[in-house]
Amino acid sequence: MDESLTGKPPFKPLGLPHRITSSNSATNLHGTDEPDDHERDGRVLVLLTGGTMGMKPNARGSLEPKAGYLAEQMRLMPELRERRMPAYEVVEYAPLLDSADMVPQDWRRIAQDVARSHNQFDGFVVIMGTDTMAYCASALSFMLEGLSKPVVLTGSMIPFAESYSDARRNLVMALIFAHAGPSEVVVFFGDRLLRGNRTTKVDALALSAYDSPNFPPLASCGVALRARYDLALAPSSEQRCKAFTQMETKILVFRMVPGFDDKALLRCLESDELRAVVLELYGTGTAPARRAGLLKALRAARSHNVLVVATTQCKRGGVVLATYEVGRLLEEEGVVAAGDMTTEAAATKLAYLFGRYPGDMDAVRELVGVSLRGEISHPDAYLRPFFEAPRFKSSGSIESDPTKRPPAPPPAPTRPAHREPPPRDVGQRRRDIALGAALGVGLALVLARRR
């Protein structure tokens, strides 16, 4: 097991959390005519790990975490004192960290605190920095086994300390969704609620910094709330939420660049310490077939029992190695397709699987392409033949759940076979003609007499 999870770590992880404020503190501060916690509809635990939301400028003008500052701002927010808002309790970690400093041991602390408090609260909010939020959300989705409450990760691009900030809305909406949202790990940012292991940070400066390229938002906030909870995962039926913490961290991510030397990749894949490599390929999973060094590196990975998983460099779509011949060659060398998983989800899923099934490469290889927490779609969701028409639900909306295999299209209607009229009797046909002629002559005589 990696030393980052056992023994004395070479870094400073999140410390033990301690309670710093609650909705009762806000009530006591602003008067007794406001609802007490027992009058509110639910209770939410807020885990404050750090990030921009609770930062303030230091003497040099740079932003840095400020202990107790966010709790102070929450006590002053009138929105949080409304009767419709859930009661909350804020627990602040020490020291507060920039998300770039967070490591798997910090994810473990968060997962353990959620699991330990699972039955005491209706939901959870994790406040952290935005740079590695997608990694943390993906990891927590796998680590929290038996989860049946919402876990909402959020943060902000601008701190509370600024007059213009996205912190207030993100925090308020995160509390609302933690109280009455889907029972899975999600990210609320900007105006959308996204599945945690489907998110990725797409903008370093915009307030809508996060996106879910291959899965629809679970909710969008405008003048009205547009929720798609039909796409959400079902709450776990297990009696107890458990935190799986033995994440394997000996995993690397490589991004393919045209024409670059493969020797560095070969050196890494020859290591006996490495467990897996996430290889970011082009398009649907192509790589240069003429590069002998790449194929040599993949064979070295196989001989050293290193699993190679292929993701795409594209933001949308997924990897289907058999699409092109060059991808099929990679498949023959043991490369496993990650489908439409994000790189963050693929890396943290491998960390979970290698920890859950230590020494069982076949189990890990088999489960990479299986949806465990809604992190991957069936290939039919993004590789549909051109001639296949979209399928519609009875309500008229397009079937958009990429986690489900689309049903087989109904058979095309067949044209009824042409039937010849039954043959008629020849004698009868002659009698009909004679009768018609006689009627015509009789009518002509009648008309002549009238004249």
> What are the pLDDT digits (tens) for 96-150?
988 999 999 999 999 999 999 999 999 999 999 999 999 999 999 999 999 999 9
> What are the pLDDT digits (tens) for 369-395?
999 999 999 877 767 555 555 544 433
> What are the pLDDT digits (tens) for 255-266?
999 988 888 889
Tell me whether residue 6 is one of the annotated catalytic residues. no
- Tell me which residue of 55, 289, 236 sits closest to 155, measured CA to CA: 55
Decide if pLDDT at 278 tops 50.
yes
Enumerate residues 6+ apart whose C-beta is below 8 A from 350.
248, 251, 275, 276, 278, 307, 309, 364, 368
Residue 148's pLDDT is 95
**CA angle (338, 339, 342) in 5-degree steps:** 70
**Sheet containing 276-281: order of strands:** 251-255, 276-281, 307-312, 336-337
pLDDT category at 10 given cuts 50, 70, 90 is very low
Whether the CB-CB separation of 403 and 373 falls below 8 Å is answered with no
> Of the residues 21, 52, 342, 343, which is catalytic?
52
Does the bond joining 104 to the residue before it have cis omega, within 30 degrees of 0?
no
The chain-wide mean pLDDT, for the chain, equals 84
Residues of the chain above pLDDT 90, percent: 59
